[in-house]
Structure 1
Amino acid sequence: MSKDSLCIQQKDCAGCPKATEGILIHRHMLRGQHIPKDKCTQNCMLFIIKGELLVNSDEYPGTTLHDKQFILQAIGSKHEALALTDTEYIVFWFNELPLLCEDRYREIIDQAEAPLAYTPLVMDHRLLNLVTDMAAYLDEPVPPCNKFINLKCQELVYLITNYYPLPQLKSFFHPISSYTESFHYFVMQNYTKVKNVEEFAHLGGYTTTTFRRLFRNFYGIPVYEWILEKKREGILEDLQHSKLRITEICNRYGFDSLSHLAHFCKDSFGDTPRALRKKAANGEKIGKITD
């Protein structure tokens, strides 16, 4: 989600900790306060401590969350909320879960399946005690250090993955696998069709800012760098192993002109496309210029 979603419009957005791993945020919403629909740029779990929160998302359409209930929203999914009463909750943002027991999580995720209808889970006494304690820690004048927060995140995930029945967990964690697969599929199917990041974002129905953040969290590098690298790999492959004409390669990778492609190849590989293809035909090794 964007900076004005579940974090309720932090004033110091440049210093917002949400972009880092394993972040816990304690928030209050007043009755009637609304969070507009946006796409999550990280995975998140939402734990209701007090109140009623009306959630609308692909998994939880028109679902009212009550105290002690919690849900998972995956990276890329859309989510909005409306406080039906004054509401207190914890949000846990993460790219990858901090696991103490990887075997148990792998057992869950390998069997993940979509239910007929997603149902919020209810915090048992162990999980509720941990969540309420974390809220108190986060409200202290001097917030706890990152190492302490990371330990609490590990404990949180351990309690969920080890103290709930496998059938419930298979449904609960399904959004992570489904959105991961769908976003990756969208990227791989469309990166050759776009000329810039703005086109890429628009094609997927994202704002440019949201798409950049989502992509970086998913792939670990800026989207523009990733696109350039994929174009370099594809162009080299086509020059060496395909019979595509240079004009076809130019169009395939979204270049405006042959001269633009030539400049790109000179900068990336040290020569023009025709010269590179000739070198490859003569058995010479062609590749990226190294720093």
Structure 2
Amino acid sequence: MQNSNKSTNQNLEICPYYSPDYKAIPQYLEMEAGESLELHSKTTNHLIFILTGDIIIDFNQYINLPISENEMFFLPKNNTFKWKAIAKTTLILTGYNTSVFPCSTIKTKILFKRKNTVKFPCRGIPMKDAIKSLVYQMKSYIDAGINCHHLYILKYKEMYLIFKHFYTYEEIIQIFYSSLGSSPLFVDQVLDNYLKVKSSKELAHLLGYSVRSFEKLFKENFNATPYKWMQDRKVNQILQKLKDPAISLKQIMYEYKFITSSHFNFYCKQHLGGTPMQIRNGDKDNFTSK
């Protein structure tokens, strides 16, 4: 077993993306009876999974909210959570940043429409067998010393699909109730309309928001400024179209409103590291989007 662990560590150390100082997510925590912990994050949502024991948790107007063994609870960003172990407790705490509602394959419209018919239970939600299996698999990775955030991102995506396939709409709403705010259609509105405008100011006006309100909502939902997000989307879309030989350069120029070839060339050199033809032909093999 020692040789196996040594081999694993050596494999990780040669990975250019491996960082031994990276704070592994998820985290496995052991708490003694009466022990308390506090969590505050402005930018990260969390899920807490109780493997053994019981805790009570406080946040906002909720006091002594019980979460028991084999239950889970969603901890939305921009909140302070304090929890206390009632008995000796073990738990998994996951944290992740996401620009879309966690179960992203389910339309926000459906969830919001049904939210009014679902009562927030104010307690832990039972973990079904599929979720328990995934959580214990993540724990086995932690125990093995695997500190690769790429692997855990894949597990989070798997988790979202499990919610979709093993939980009803009503159960998903109960889990993520506190993340369904007063403007749950905002993400869909942005994705449906951002290509119709040239600037974030125009998008704000198109969607009926003041610029200030729009920028605040955008930051909350996408964790980026509207300008940077729109620029990054444009760069990535142009890159994908340049990689498709079936799409002519002239068509891309027209779609993204480049007046001249020189302007298009300059844009691609600045953001992608090469001219459109270099990128399309693979002559520039080190280009990256900024």
TM-score by length of 2: 0.51
Q: Is the 8 A contact 1:46 1:72 kept in 2?
A: yes
Aligned to 2:56: 54
Query: 2: distance between equivalents of 1:216 and 1:42?
Result: 10
**Does 1:83 find its partner at 2:85?**
yes
C-alpha distance 36-26 of structure 1, shift in aligned 2 (>3 A):
closer
Secondary structure of 1:178's aligned partner: coil
Letter in 1 for 2:174: S
Q: Aligned partners of 1:140, 1:37: CA distance in 2, in Å?
A: 25
1:75, 1:180 within 8 Å by CA — same for their partners in 2?
A: no
Cross-structure match for 1:73: 75
Distance (whole Å) between structure 2 residues aligned to residue 165 and residue 17 of structure 1: 33
Tell me how far 1:46 sits from its aligned partner: 0.7
2:160 corresponds to which of 137, 157, 160: 157
Q: CA deviation at 1:104?
A: 5.4
CA distance in 2, matches of 1:43, 1:153: 12
Which stretches in structure 1 are left out of the alignment for 5+ residues?
1-13, 192-214, 226-291
Structure 2 residue aligned with 1:220: 224
Opposite residue 93 of structure 1, the aligned amino acid is: G
Alignment correspondent of 1:42: 44
Seq. identity, %: 16
Provide Cα deviations, 1:174-194, integer angstroms capped at 9, x if missing partner. Answer: 21122888xxx9x946x9xxx
Provide closer, same or farther for how the CA distance between residues 100 and 64 of structure 1 changes in structure 2, counting only shifts above 3 A. closer
Helix, strand or coil at the partner of 1:102: coil
Aligned with 1:107: secondary structure?
Answer: helix
Aligned mates of 1:50, 1:65 — CA distance in 2: 11
Residue pair 1:52, 1:83 contacting (<8 A) in 2 also: yes
Alignment of 1:1-291 (within 5 A): 15=21, 17=23, 23-36=25-38, 38=40, 40-58=42-60, 60-96=62-98, 102-103=105-106, 107-109=110-112, 111-113=114-116, 115=119, 117-141=121-145, 143=146, 145-178=148-181, 188=212, 219-220=223-224
AA of the residue aligned to 2:175: F
1:94 deviates by 1.9
Alignment size in residue pairs: 185
| Contact kept in structure 2, 1:59 and 1:117, CA below 8 Å | no
Aligned residue for 1:82, secondary structure, equals strand
Superimposed CA distance per residue, residues 22-69 of structure 1 (whole angstroms, 9 cap, x where no aligned partner)? x42222222222124645531111111111111112374311211110
- Counterpart secondary structure, 2:115: coil
Aligned residues of 1:38 and 1:78 also touching (Cα < 8 A): yes
**1:78 shift after superposition:** 2.8
Aligned letter for 1:46? I
TM-score in terms of structure 1 length: 0.51
Q: Does the 8 Å CA contact 1:40/1:76 hold for their aligned counterparts?
A: yes
